[in-house]
């Protein structure tokens, strides 16, 4: 079952035995409460200091002109106005991030699902193939990105050389505003082993009897996928998709490293080439940590937070949806 059904499944567990009110029991309950607090204490501190406090501060700072040099003062909605009407790069950053969410994520999910289905059907060497497919997912993102920029180098890289051998004129990849995001997508596909392993486990969890029954009913493979496989694995796919969407929302490392490496300069214009790899997170980083418009960066962070929450809440709501289904079964 889907991971998140656990959230609510746990919640539906009946509460402890009926309360009795003898002093001994009350003392025991107090001890229990203290014990729970003790076990939770690291998290309570972490939640307060490293989540709640900075979250409140982000919102507050987004209304100031903080630059970490002079003391900040309140500037009202100026940062938000700048974001929506004046920032020359923000809409491109939003479009690029949107592209990643709308194209890269589905490509990744479909690819991982496809590879997982092939692997699930293998009769010889399934374990070896699974290992080989998963391996690139372990490559550190920075290393993988640097490597891909080298491999896809239009002048000296093996990819275009091999494409040339089969008569295809390779594009400029990381040096082309049109091809840079597809190149990043290929990098993502290469590293989608984690998702593949998750899907593979879900596929192998589909009860074999269901397939046998469906086969006896004379269904074709496509129908079996549609009516047997998909319903069983869909919670897992949904969870993976939402996680991938949120990852795309904060896509930073690969975009930044790819532009730096492809341009060959540490001061490459953000989003090289032609702003095509500039993401929302990168814009936030530039505003905050190279221009030190901390207030403005916080305004961007507030927007990012709102969008991320929409997806998270959507995920959690769907998760409880699965739960009711489960309950009726």
CA 254/CA 321 separation, integer angstroms:
35
Which residues have a Cβ under 8 Å from the Cβ of 191 and sit 6 or more positions away? 136, 137, 139, 141, 144
Q: Between 23 and 42, name the residue whose CB sits nearer to other proteins.
A: 42
Q: Which residues inside 229-248 make contact with other proteins, applying CB under 8 A?
A: 236, 239-240, 243, 246
Nearest distance, CB of residue 227 and other proteins, angstroms: 20
Nearest distance, CB of residue 100 and other proteins, angstroms: 13
Site string for other proteins, 251-290 (x = CB under 8 A): -xx--xx--xxxxxxxxxxxxxxxx--x--x--xx--xxx
Site string for other proteins, 187-226 (x = CB under 8 A): ---x--xx--xxx-xx--x---------------------
State the DSSP code for 278: -
CA 195/CA 237 separation, integer angstroms:
9
Nearest distance, CB of residue 198 and other proteins, angstroms: 3
Nearest distance, CB of residue 93 and other proteins, angstroms: 11
Length of the chain: 329
- Name the token pair of 193: 């082993």
Q: Between 103 and 206, name the residue whose CB sits nearer to other proteins.
A: 206
Q: Does residue 317 belong to the site contacting other proteins (CB under 8 A)?
A: no
Residue from 1, 253, 230 nearest 110 by CA: 230
Q: Does residue 327 belong to the site contacting other proteins (CB under 8 A)?
A: no
Is residue 185 within 8 A of residue 104, CB to CB? The reply is yes
Tracing tokens 């549609």 back to the chain, one arrives at 226
Residue from 294, 101, 115, 104 nearest 195 by CA: 115
Q: Does residue 324 belong to the site contacting other proteins (CB under 8 A)?
A: no
Number of residues that bind other proteins (CB under 8 A): 152
CA 66/CA 224 separation, integer angstroms:
58
Q: Which residues inside 19-58 make contact with other proteins, applying CB under 8 A?
A: 32-33, 35-36, 38-40, 42-43, 45-51, 53-55, 57-58
Longest dimension (CA), the chain: 86
Q: Does residue 250 belong to the site contacting other proteins (CB under 8 A)?
A: yes
Angle of helix 294-328 versus helix 53-61 axis, rounded to 10: 130
Q: Does residue 99 belong to the site contacting other proteins (CB under 8 A)?
A: no
Q: Between 103 and 118, name the residue whose CB sits nearer to other proteins.
A: 118
Q: Does residue 139 belong to the site contacting other proteins (CB under 8 A)?
A: yes
Q: Does residue 3 belong to the site contacting other proteins (CB under 8 A)?
A: yes
Is residue 105 within 8 A of residue 248, CB to CB? The reply is yes
- Name the token pair of 1: 């079952």
Is residue 155 within 8 A of residue 112, CB to CB? The reply is no
Nearest distance, CB of residue 226 and other proteins, angstroms: 20
Q: Which of 104, 109, 184, 249 touches other proteins by CB under 8 A?
A: 249
Q: Does residue 112 belong to the site contacting other proteins (CB under 8 A)?
A: no
Report phi then psi at 217, rounded to 5: -75, 0
Q: Which of 94, 103, 150, 210 touches other proteins by CB under 8 A?
A: 150
């Amino acid at each position: 079952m889907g991971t998140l059904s656990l959230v609510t499944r746990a919640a539906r567990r009946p509460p402890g035995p009926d309360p009795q009110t003898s002093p001994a029991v009350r003392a025991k309950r107090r001890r229990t409460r203290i014990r729970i607090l003790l076990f939770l204490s690291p998290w309570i501190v972490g939640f307060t200091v490293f989540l709640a406090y900075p979250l409140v501060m982000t919102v507050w700072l987004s209304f100031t002109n903080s630059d970490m040099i002079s003391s900040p003062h309140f500037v009202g909605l100026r940062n938000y106005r700048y974001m929506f009407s004046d920032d020359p790069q923000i809409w491109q950053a939003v479009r690029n991030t949107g592209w990643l969410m709308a194209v890269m994520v589905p490509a990744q999910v479909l690819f991982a699902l496809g590879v997982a289905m092939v692997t699930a059907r293998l009769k010889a060497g399934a374990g070896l193939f699974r290992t080989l497919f998963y391996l690139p997912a372990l490559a550190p993102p920075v290393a993988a990105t640097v490597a891909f920029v080298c491999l896809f180098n239009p002048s000296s890289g093996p990819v275009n050389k091999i494409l040339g051998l089969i008569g295809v004129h390779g594009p400029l990849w990381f040096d082309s505003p049109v091809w840079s995001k597809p190149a990043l997508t290929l990098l993502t596909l290469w590293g989608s082993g984690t998702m593949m392993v998750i899907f593979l486990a879900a596929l192998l969890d589909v009860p074999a009897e269901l397939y046998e029954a469906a086969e006896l009913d004379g269904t074709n493979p496509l129908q079996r996928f549609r009516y047997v496989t998909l319903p069983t694995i869909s919670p897992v796919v949904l969870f993976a998709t939402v996680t991938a969407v949120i990852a795309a929302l904060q896509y930073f490392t690969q975009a930044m490293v790819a532009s730096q490496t492809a341009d060959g300069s540490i001061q490459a214009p953000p989003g090289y080439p032609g702003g095509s790899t500039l993401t929302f997170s990168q814009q936030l980083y530039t505003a905050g940590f190279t221009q030190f418009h901390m207030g403005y960066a916080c305004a961007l962070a507030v927007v990012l937070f709102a969008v991320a929450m929409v997806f998270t809440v959507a995920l959690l709501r769907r998760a409880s949806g699965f739960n009711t289904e489960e309950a009726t079964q």
